[in-house]
Amino acid sequence: MPEDAVELLREFAGRFNRGERPDVGKYLARAGDDAERLAELIDRFLRETVPPEPSEESVRMLAGWLKGDPPLLELRRRRGLKRDAVVDALVKLLGLDPGRREKVARYYHQLETGRLDASRVDRKVFAALGEALRHVDVRLAV
């Protein structure tokens, strides 16, 4: 059932103002027949709103990308993490058989260095990767 455009805008604006990056397409899909109205409301909101300051981490990742380093590699390096630790965490968080570790390592290396099409990677892998990069030392110690 389509949702009210104004309520969707409030939800979108709240997430945006908290520094999240809400997916406009998903909101428009939820609006149903009100999608055009919601698009106009979101467009007006974004034109009139000062975006939140980027995090220090976002700035660092962009700086790394501008100098030619893939953002994921820059993020891992900035966190002082070894690739093996991230791979081990991915295997654990995704509930994979430890025998598949080498395959995970190969794909992670390709993803981290920008040689794997990220659009073909399942969202749950990115969720696990985010978790691994935030808590890799804690997760592996458990």
Q: What are the tens digits of pLDDT across the range 99-121?
A: 999 999 999 999 998 898 888 88
DSSP state of 136: H
Vertex 122, ends 140 and 69: CA angle to 5°?
A: 70
The Cα diameter of the chain in Å comes to 52
Q: Euclidean distance between the first and final Cα of the chain, in Å?
A: 43
Q: Which of 21-35, 41-55, 122-136 has the lowest mean pLDDT?
A: 122-136
Residue 140 is predicted with a pLDDT of 34
What is the rounded distance in angstroms from the CA atom of residue 109 to the CA atom of residue 123? 17
